[in-house]
Amino acid sequence: MKTDRIQAAEGDITRLEVNAIVNAANTTLLGGGGVDGAIHRAAGPELLEECRTLGGCPTGGARITRGYRLPAKWVIHTVGPVWHGGKRDEDALLAGCYRNSLALTAQHDIKSVAFPGISTGAYGFPLERAARIAIRQTRESLQAHPDIEKVIFVCFGREARDLYDRLLSHPPQSI
Ligand code: AR6
């Protein structure tokens, strides 16, 4: 696999010119704070209208909508686990967010997709542990979905960016 299919970037995910952005949603899919609030504000009220038709989403799952006023054509809404110390299947649930989001990406023939750090804000998942899971699962999913051309991990702040750059420079077996 070509490693340059995966990149880290720093900034506001709502401004990114990619085919799809992933939202760190909650099980209602009806909006919230953090990146969820920013995405709904930037996309406009039509996004909430469409989300109302979906009937929610379980933790670890993913659903897709249009992007409306966003530069991205699509929004993939995934629900990360709340961190409870690591004993409530949080790692597997977080991996599911990336696996299911990338499966939707492939199903809709989307070539480029950007992720925020799912669960690493309000939901309290430790950043480095989350980043390792994100990278490991994305590398595995990209092998299953050769038509996805680019996955961007959008980091909010320098610390997260440095972490992702460091982990992405590691060979696959070592993270
Ligand atoms: N662009 C990129 N990353 C961002 C942005 C942005 N505009 N804004 C925040 N982040 P969070 P969670 C980063 O709390 O932990 C919501 O209320 C942020 O620094 O948005 O999965 C939902 O409705 C952090 O690294 O999501 C849920 O109830 C990451 O995005 C709950 O929060 C995720 O932080 C989900 O919590």
Q: pLDDT tens-digit profile of 69-112?
A: 999 999 999 999 999 999 999 999 999 999 999 999 999 999 99
| Domains of the chain: total | 1
CATH at residue 41: 3.40.220.10
pTM: 0.97
Can you give the pLDDT at residue 173?
Answer: 72
In which residue are the tokens 């990619």 written?
18
Can you give the pLDDT at residue 1?
Answer: 46
Closest to 95 measured CA to CA, from 129, 48, 52: 129
36 is catalytic: yes
Query: Is the distance from the beta carbon of residue 14 to the nearest atom of ligand 1 less than 6 Å?
Result: yes
Can you give the pLDDT at residue 59?
Answer: 98
Task: Compute, in angstroms, the gap from residue 120 CA to the centroid of ligand 1.
Answer: 7
Range of the domain at 9: 3-174
Can you give the pLDDT at residue 3?
Answer: 52
Residue 66 half-sphere exposure, CB side, CA atoms within 13 Å? 11
Residue ranges of the chain with per-residue pLDDT less than 50? 1
Beta-bridge partner residues of 79: 25
Task: Compute, in angstroms, the gap from residue 32 CA to the centroid of ligand 1.
Answer: 9
| Catalytic residue chosen out of the listed positions 36, 89, 91, 147 | 36
What long-range pairs does 156-161 form, CB within 8 A, spacing at least 24? 156/10, 156/11, 156/12, 156/35, 156/116, 156/117, 157/10, 158/10, 159/127, 160/10, 160/117, 160/120, 160/127, 160/131, 161/8, 161/9, 161/10
Indicate the top mutation candidate among 21, 35, 36, 76 to test ligand 1's pocket, ranked by most ligand atoms within 8 A of CB: 35
